[in-house]
Structure 1
Amino acid sequence: MSSDTPDQTVAPDYKSTLNLPQTDFPMRAGLPKREPEWLARWERIGIYDRLRASAAGRPPFVLHDGPPYANGHLHIGHALNKTIKDMIVRSHQMMGHDARYVPGWDCHGLPIEWKIEEKYRAKGRDKDEVPINDFRRECREFAAGWIDVQREEFKRLGVTGAWDRPYLTMDFHAERVIAEEFQKFLMNGTLYQGSKPVMWSPVEKTALAEAEVEYHEHQSHTIWVPFSVRRGGHAVMPDDEVTDFDGANQAALAEDLKAARIVIWTTTPWTIPSNRAIAFNPAIDYGLYRVNATQDESWTAVGDLYVLADALAAGVLEQARVTAHERVRGVTPDELGGLTCAHPFAGIDGADGFWDYDVPVIDGDHVTDDAGTGFVHTAPSHGADDFDCFVKRGWLDRMTYNVGEESEFLPHVPFFAGLSVFDRKGKEGKANRAVIDKLVAAGGLIARGRLKHSYPHSWRSKAPVIFRNTPQWFAAIDKPVGDGQDEHGTTIRQRALTSIDKLVTWTPRSGRNRLHSMIEARPDWVLSRQRAWGVPLTCFTKAGAQPTDPDFLLRNAEVNARICAAFEAEGADAWYADGAKQRFLEGIVDPDAYEQVFDILDVWFDSGSTHAFVLRDREDGTPDGIADVYMEGTDQHRGWFHSSMLQACGTMGRAPYRNVVTHGFTLDEKGNKMSKSLGNTIAPEDIVKQYGADILRLWVAQADYTADQRIGPEILKGTADSYRRLRNTLRFMLGSLGDYRPEIAVARDDMPELERYMLHLVEQLDRQVKAGYAAFDFQGVFQKVFQFATIDLSALYFDIRKDALYCDGIDSLERRAALTVLDILFHRLTGWLAPILVFTMEEVWLERFPGEDSSVHLQDMPDTPGDWHDPVLAERTATHRAVRRVVTGALEKERQAKTIGASLEAAPVVYLTADAAAKIDAGKFATLCIVSDLVVSTDPIPEGAFTLPDVPEVGVVVRRAEGAKCDRCWKVLPDVGTHSRPGVCARCDDVLGQ
């Protein structure tokens, strides 16, 4: 053989003849570095505004943003919340809507005011000495600074929206509308000034809404106080003289009860000076108990008689260090209801008769025998149940006003004047101990102790709160609104309950139950706060008039219009400017005849009014001022969902939303609440820096947001692994589609069965994805798409079609059909996943369709032909896939035994029933199973054949394929080496000839 003659014994390298995937799309995403580039690109091409322009004429879809508070960096709950909102907006945009999103911020209220006060305190300044509009200006500047910070943090998460024109509750127009909405309550008759106990922060010196309160463990004093029975029958007036006994009732009173004392138990000793009654429950069994023996240090004495609930008596007497006692007899509800007691401080020296009034014993359903004594000390100025008992009886003239705004006893209270329940730092003051000491001195205590329990605290200052009776402004929710004519109800409560049940869809459904129960049982809405930073209650009261007088409130449309015009031009600061009262009243009414109200509106009224100045007033709002979706955390059932419902029902007669979507709280990996003190918080910024925002968004999509979710390092690692698997699927598609052109597309009817089956799956999944997005079920959407991409595509379709894509001739029907399906899959997958993986789908899209104006987010999810649905083919293919699983299992067993290496070395024999065998073409099924040959047999399954428990009618025996391995496609076939080109099979020889 001459030296220039090719060595025919060495097979040629055919790798260059294969159509292997080619793409620059990297497996390593590098998201933290690359995501900011896409953000800059979206801003450069104005993608949000381009969507608005292209969507003109489409059905509008508006998610109204619940405003976060402008006072700090984002936490993981913010990231969850804004990502879900973004997925809702993007998915509806891509499904054919004009989906608008206007982000907003809550700017008024105590948190910001508190921060400015802290700054003053650090400099030794008193906030009350600063001109109010100077103080308000500092609050405004503080909010504006944090809005800029939070805006960039939200944008970094990939959230799209009108970031350059958000809504702010401190904008002048917003302040004008908030005042205008308040004036509607003024004019429709639901606004009134009343006096009732509200949760009050002594540290912040303001009333708090339930949504502004959180519960923490707190150690309280506990005391057991005996009230001496004064007589039978209630006093007619609260200020009767002690000696003014009703002789008949006293004579009728049993002798043993005359000498008895009723014992109450309380964890708030400071409220004892404000006691006006004792409550019992007729459903509880009570008894009269005599002390027979005591320890030396007991505050009781042998022979003392006490009335106690039977279920609690032994425990109470043990606390009082009674060593022996007996139950004398039962005490009936009729007897209890006829008793009047003396206050423990009645007749005490130095009190000048301050407590010498009767203390009636009254019935109340709120009394239980779970703890305490079975009797409840009732101070109507310091408890909701206590207050309700007095309202029910018309005893509001017996309310006390003993405690000031710093929780201090007022000057008129003997012994305790100036003593506070809590000091300015939220620590225990001197009031409790002083009251206890005075009770001891007066013989008014039988036991004392300490108790750790859940107690309300301000969520801002973290300091304990008290219940305190103060004059406040309320919206009456059971009074007819205006003329009372409305299709959804005559009162705010009726309209709200109708909205909940008939006008709103709840996701999850439990949200309906939660809000319904709250609205059903709630009291009137407290609108006023005693602060400086917010929208004032823009109303005037008649000088010298009482709140019950019909002309107490000035209701004048011309005055209201003046106020609103000033707010539109100058903001709410106009209310505090010098001469404001004259400016608003002069020429309409006599300014000297009215007093200006300086309380500010509860910040929940601000946010509850946003529907008016965002949905109603903006061009990108809604035609009817009603949002398609409100979406917030479950705590907003008592917050924004709640206040928006009440506010809108008072001003426009119904809820301002059609859908309410609720997410749970974010916990750490162990299910614990995140806390800085525990060191288990995870900042969104840290996740974005390490993994990228798309990983954070994918975590959101994989979580069941309707319940509490967990996040942590291990969970994020699992999320990143899912992302890598999905990215690998997309990379394969990009590499394979490099030479696809629309003109080579194959019509569905001309496609092989496998391609038609994939189109069936696409049609089925497309319906499920769009239904899932419409129902805000992102977990369901992603799970279905991920399973399809990793199982139906990567593990099945791509694995099977690699042979045709790599080895077939460029123009083969099978290859062109596969490329056609890959193109369809590309558009579907990028469309389905774009609302979730906003950065990655943009990267994938631009890899295939580069261009300055190109973006996946300017696309819609493609329409999918209904005739791709083929249930007959799906049923037949289900049989194929079940049989294939058995073949794959058999091959894997042989690989583990090293009988074979690659599956192409095998030629299995598949044993089937005659019916199943009739549905399988052996030649085509060999391709599906990725083997070189396959035999179908209807013989009985031989012993030792491989089977699966769930497919018992299929058996497989793996044999080695006969022939040689093709050097190009690696199939083992008998004809390899018999063709003009060495080492190849007939198919590869033909392709090489082309």
Structure 2
Amino acid sequence: MCAETPDYKDTLNLPKTDFPMRAGLPKREPGWLARWDEIGVYERLRDKAAEAEAAGNPRPPFTLHDGPPYANGHLHIGHALNKTIKDMIVRSHQMMGHDSRYIPGWDCHGLPIEWKIEQQYREKGQDKDQVDIVDFRQECRRFAEHWIEIQRDEFKRLGITGTWDNPYLTMDFRAERIIAEDFQKFLMSGVVYQGSKPVMWSPVEKTALAEAEVEYHDHKSHTIWVPFPVVSGGDAPIADGEDDDWAGADQSLAAADLEGAKVVIWTTTPWTIPSNRAVAYHPEIAYGLYEVTGRPEECWAQVGDRYVIADKLAAEVLGKARLEDSMWRRLRAVTAVELSTMTLAHPLRGAEGAGGFWDYDVPMIDGDHVTDDAGTGFVHTAPSHGQEDYDCFLQRGWLDRMTHNVGEESEFLPHVPLFAGLRVFDHKGKEGKANTAVIDALVANGGLLARGRMTHSYPHSWRSKAPVIYRNTPQWFAAIDKPVGDGQDTYGQTIRERALRSIDELVTWTPRTGRNRLHSMIENRPDWVLSRQRAWGVPLTCFTRKGALPTDDDFLLRDPAVNQRILDAFEAEGADAWYKPGAKERFLGTDHDPEQWEQVFDILDVWFDSGSTHAFVLRDREDGTKDGIADVYMEGTDQHRGWFHSSMLQACGTIGRAPYRNVVTHGFTLDEKGNKMSKSLGNITAPEEVIKQYGADILRLWVAQADYTADQRIGPEILKGTADGYRRLRNTLRFMLGALGHFQESDRVDAADMPELERWVLHRLAELDSVVRKGYATFDFQGVFQQLFNFCTVEMSAFYFDIRKDALYCDGDTQRRRAARTVMDLLFHRLTTWLAPILVFTTEEVWLERFGDGAGSIHLQDMPATPADWRDEPLAAKWAMVRRARRVVTAALEVQRTDKVIGASLEAAPVVHVREPEMLEALRSVAFEDVCITSDIQLTGDPMPAEAFRLPETEGVGVVFEHAEGEKCQRCWKILPDVGRHAHLGTCARCDAALAATEAAPAE
């Protein structure tokens, strides 16, 4: 610049904003939270809906029903993922025009809290059973209240909106009343019954467990191969052709051939052998009779022993017995007809000291569950300790043969000889002495062929993490295949029928695989075990007649007056009323003799509690829903066997259908390598640590960027990448704010009067509006964010903003500059509302930076309607060609910049060869030099020379570099021939005119 040339910097329209480059989210986010509380954003949105309804333009309601987290510890990253997705659903639907409500809630009853209180008693040397039950329950209540307060603050810190001052709690008196009321609906409809069948049982916690309360971990088990002697049968005739070794032989030898043989079973639960009552086979499996012809020194098999084993598994089984292939031979086939006539002896028959306890016959039964994939092809059947075993006996009417040999601590009961008092698992979940004692007794009685150990997946309590057992015990059940008889038969008469039809006809599943999973579970599940042998929960509010059998019609008291007295007491005092002195007399009143009735003290499965939440949240509250149905339930994939499942069963038993219209499922959270997080591995990412380092918006952005329907990975490097992406997005927002400084309505330009480039932006906004709304409506947050991020960083920052910086900074009050700022304003309102459900804090910051504290909140806004006439497909197609050609030019100039031929693109005036006439015409119709940010450009249809720069992906465009000719304008830095020929020194014509207009404008 010459010495006499003025400094024109102050004459430029440079960006004006105090919006910082560095977000400082960890320190600033709490201030926005406090502001939202102060102005009551959630409440103002409800007022807004009420005003719209009063004006005759109601906002359609939308309710996400919150699956209650458990109130017993700090939040983990899975909680953050879950609640953030829910918040995005709620906020996005609100901003799309709904009255979108969210009532957070907590699951408060159940074993985890009870276990904690018991632990406190143990540490003090106290016996929990000696504590008054009401006092104990009050301690559980206080424990839950403590953690609810902590978790509430942690959830709010994530930016989650909702009725935090009025959440729902399963332990509220009103909730306990309604849970009891819904149980009474089951009771009065006749689906509740008491039965004795095997259930998942936790010896550590001494209670039955539902499938949803069980998780599977590797466990090392004993494995044993046990021969059951054949004592009779096996003499059925064999059809010709059934076996070449046997057909045509003297069939009278059949009985002698099999008598004394042994049917071999395999099991990983030796402790169940004392409760064996049958051996199962499959009629389509090929079985053979195998004889031992030799033996090694250490072997329980003897020469001459004959074993019946599935042919496919015989070599493996005999190998486990240490018999080499040369030490045995196959005698013949054993048919299903023969097996069906066999009677076996229990392997402990005649055991010394057993007093004949096992001297009963063991029948052979056919079973579809038997396979020859592993084991021996036969299944040891103990109906008191396995569901399939129980089903086999139920089908045959043999329930009188059930055993009751194992107690609540997994101990053999006193009547069981040899093993009385021995436990399967001790009070800490470690292996007890029962298995080894049974194995030793089998060895002593000649009842073992082989033994070993194996590691396999085994059920554990998800609370104590201790192994569980199947145990026959009296429990309360809800029959899911019995007609409910409540007149709500639109979707079927039984709970199962209603659930399966609801899944297929009433619910949309995201992802679709959720439908398949829940359908399969409900299609194959047994009756619902409702009872738990614990104290902290809602009791099964029923009475049984003394001396009556569970099958008697008058076994259960079904009296509406008694039920109402119970409900009234629960409403006033909570479920503690059931446990207070005189409760039985109080509830039975004068209508029933208390001496004739027993009060049930089991508590309800906590899944019945949480499954009932639709009743006391959606149906009962003023801010619930008119029909008691939620628009969406959203939880982790484990809830197909948990809350989704129990809510479906409970609702189908009380309202006749599913309590939800949409079910959205997310995966689990893993570390960066895809491993499960654990304290021992040191790979846990805690929400509070992420917030402390980056802020909650970065955590929310991590959620939005990921495909939540699969498992999510998180860790330091992933969060660093998320933060980098956030900074790019923040720069886009900052540029808009700077460009919109002092923008007024008088600056606005109609779309029809805008340059093509601005109308192309409007077209893209119209396209995006449709994409964003559809994405949010279908819960596709990853798709929404990817579209918005690419639009902001690629189409806006790297293209439109890059081009229009020159006009925004250097133009005077031109139509082009006004149009650009008008587009910026339209863009601002759409981007901030589109991004607000994801980046709740940042969009609030952007909104307040532009409009000030008096502008309320971005979260009080709706997404603005986008005019349909903004769409212009021909214009979009034209500008797609322009952008393709621009990429070739910018790539060619980057080569020159890298080679230090030029320092900036304004030093260039390239020649652009374009083969296609249509593209050439398109480029000539726009200011292509401005598009390419060069000082000049030449467009030609001449054949491109060999030295022309090309991009393989853009055929027919070549660029020959040329320097721009002229002088550098000291205001806009373009190199043009006319610089220095105008009134203002060192300027081009455009800048000279801008300066003149400024000087002519009246002083403010």
Pairwise TM-score range, normalised by the shorter structure: over 0.9
C-alpha displacement of 1:9: 4.5
Matched residue, 2:22:
28
One-letter amino acid of the counterpart of residue 749, structure 1 = A
C-alpha separation between the residues in 2 aligned to 1:619 and 1:691?
A: 38
Q: Matched residue of 2:312: which SS?
A: coil
Once the two structures are superposed, the pairs formed by residues 980-991 of structure 1 within 5 Å of their partners are 980-991=983-994
How far did residue 157 of structure 1 move? 0.2
> Is 2:641 the counterpart of 1:638?
yes
Contact map agreement 2:634 2:663 (CA 8 A) in 1: yes
Q: Aligned pair 1:907/2:901, yes or no?
A: no
Deviations 1:225-271 (A, max 9, x none): 1110011189xxxxxxxxxxxxxxx9885212102011111111110
Q: For residues 706 and 582 of structure 2, what CA distance do their matches in structure 1 show?
A: 56
| Contact 2:234-2:258 at 8 Å conserved across structures | no
Could you say what secondary structure the match of 1:158 adopts? coil
The structural deviation recorded for 1:338 is 1.2
CA 494–797 in structure 1, closer or farther in 2 if over 3 Å, else same: same
Which whole-Å CA distance do the structure 1 matches of 2:347 and 2:922 have between them? 93
Q: Is the 8 A contact 1:192 1:473 kept in 2?
A: yes
Q: Shift in Å at residue 899 of structure 1?
A: 2.1
Paired residue for 1:17, among 2, 8, 11?
A: 11
Aligned to 1:894: 896
Among 379, 392, 395, which residue is 2:395 paired with? 392
Structure 1 match to 2:489: 486
Structure 1 match to 2:272 = 271
Distance 1:306-1:798 versus aligned 2 partners, 3 A rule: same
Distance 1:921 1:314, change over 3 A: same
Aligned with 2:697 (options 694, 698, 719)? 694
User: Which position in structure 1 is the counterpart of 2:303?
Assistant: 302
Corresponding residue SS for 1:631: strand
- Amino acid across the alignment from 1:976: V
Alignment match, 1:37: 31
Match of 1:168 in 2: 169
Q: Is 1:968–1:984's contact at 8 Å kept on the other side of the alignment?
A: yes
Partners of 1:105 and 1:167 within 8 A in 2: yes
Aligned partners of 2:417, 2:937: CA distance in 1, in Å? 102
Equivalences for 1:189-588 in 2 at 5 Å?
Answer: 189-232=190-233, 254-323=255-324, 324-482=327-485, 486-588=489-591
Deviations 1:539-596 (A, max 9, x none): 1111100011111111111110010000000000000011111000021222211111
| Residue 347 of structure 1: how far off its partner (Å) | 2.3
d(CA) in 1 for partners of 2:283, 2:487: 39
Partner of 1:242: none
Aligned pairs, number: 972
For residues 684 and 782 of structure 1, the distance between their equivalents in structure 2, rounded to whole angstroms, comes to 21
* Cα displacement (A) at 1:348: 2.4
Q: Distance in 2 between matches of 1:515 and 1:429?
A: 36
Aligned partners of 1:876, 1:224: CA distance in 2, in Å? 78
Distance of 1:132 and 1:230 partners within structure 2: 54
Structure 1 stretch 121-130 or stretch 98-107: which is displaced more? Answer: 121-130
The answer (yes or no) to whether the contact 1:231–1:253 under 8 Å persists in 2 is: no
2:934 to 931, 935, 944: 931
Distance 1:208 1:260 in 2: 41
Contact 1:923 1:934 in 2 (8 A): no
Q: Is the 8 A contact 2:176 2:570 kept in 1?
A: yes
Quick one: percent identity of the two aligned structures? 74
Deviations 1:458-512 (A, max 9, x none): 1111111000001111111111111565111111111001100010000011100
- The equivalent residue for 1:55 is 49
* Contact map agreement 1:800 1:929 (CA 8 A) in 2: yes
Residues 201 and 469 of structure 2 are in contact (CA less than 8 Å); yes or no, is this contact kept in structure 1?
A: yes
Q: Distance in 1 between matches of 2:584 and 2:275?
A: 38
User: Which residue of structure 2 aligns with residue 761 of structure 1?
Assistant: 764
Which amino acid in the other structure matches residue 951 of structure 1?
Answer: T
Q: Is the 8 A contact 1:232 1:253 kept in 2?
A: no
Contact 1:61–1:97 (Cα < 8 Å) also in 2: yes
Whether contact under 8 Å (1:963, 1:976) holds in the other structure is yes
CA distance, structure 1, for counterparts of residue 3 and residue 448 of structure 2:
110
User: How far apart, in 1, do the equivalents of 2:91 and 2:2 lie?
Assistant: 61
Matches of 2:174 and 2:931, distance apart in 1: 66
The gaps in structure 1 that reach 5 residues or longer are 1-6, 235-249
Tell me the SS of whatever aligns to 1:294: coil
- Alpha-carbon distance change, 37 to 697 in structure 1, aligned in 2, over 3 angstroms: same
The 5-angstrom pairing of residues 737-756 of structure 1 reads: 737-756=740-759
Where 2:972 maps in the other structure, the secondary structure is coil
Q: How far apart, CA to CA, are the structure 2 residues paired with 1:668 and 1:348?
A: 54
Does 2:821 correspond to 1:819?
Answer: yes
Partner of 1:68: 69
Q: Contact (CA 8 Å) 1:280, 1:364: kept in 2 or not?
A: yes
- Following superposition, the deviation at residue 853 of structure 1 comes to 5.6
- Matched residues in 1 for 2:925 and 2:879: separation? 14
For 1:693 and 1:222, how far apart are their aligned partners in 2?
51
Map of 1:95 onto structure 2: 96
TM-score by length of 1: 0.97
- Give the conservation status (yes or no) of the 8 Å contact 1:45–1:853: no
CA distance in 2, matches of 1:565, 1:804: 74
Partner of 2:849: 847
Give the C-alpha shift of residue 921 in structure 1: 2.3
Any conservation in 2 of the 1:22–1:738 contact (CA below 8 Å)?
Answer: yes
Distance of 1:358 and 1:156 partners within structure 2: 67
The residue aligned with 2:669 is 666
Hey, what's the Cα distance between the residues in 2 that align with 1:574 and 1:524? 29
Q: Is the 8 A contact 1:198 1:207 kept in 2?
A: yes
4+ residue runs over 3 A deviation: 7-10, 250-253
- Measured in 2, the distance between the counterparts of 1:409 and 1:10 equals 106
Counterpart position of 1:792: 795
Deviations 1:760-779 (A, max 9, x none): 00011011101100111100
Partner Cα separation in structure 2 for residue 986 and residue 432 of structure 1: 97
Q: CA deviation at 1:205?
A: 0.1
Map of 1:244 onto structure 2: none
Cα distance in structure 1, aligned partners of 2:852 and 2:811: 29
Residue 293 of structure 1 aligns to a residue in which SS? coil
Letter in 2 for 1:34: R
Computed over aligned residues only, the root mean square deviation of the Cα atoms, in angstroms, reads 1.3
- Per-residue CA deviation, residues 698-731 of structure 1 (Å, 9 max, x unaligned), is 0000000001110010000000000000000111
For structure 1, which segment, 191-200 or 351-360, has the greater mean C-alpha deviation from structure 2 after superposition?
351-360
2: CA distance between counterparts of 1:339 and 1:895?
A: 92
Segment of structure 1 superposing worse, 431-440 or 643-652: 431-440
The letter of the residue matching 1:793 is M
Does structure 1 conserve the Cα–Cα contact (< 8 Å) formed by 2:234 and 2:339?
A: no
Q: Is the 8 A contact 2:562 2:589 kept in 1?
A: no
1:450 CA displacement: 1.2
Answer yes or no: is the 8 Å Cα contact 2:63–2:100 preserved in 1. Answer: yes
CA contact (8 A) 2:178 2:615 kept: yes
**Structure 2: how far apart are the matches of 1:108 and 1:956?**
73
Q: State the 1:992 CA deviation.
A: 1.2
Structure 2 gap segments, 5+ residues each = 54-58, 236-250, 998-1004
Letter of the structure 2 residue corresponding to residue 291 of structure 1: V
Question: Displacement, 1:923?
Answer: 6.1
What is the alpha-carbon distance in structure 2 between the residues aligned to residue 748 and residue 154 of structure 1?
43
| 1:597 paired to 2:591 | no
Question: 3-state SS of the aligned residue for 2:265?
Answer: strand
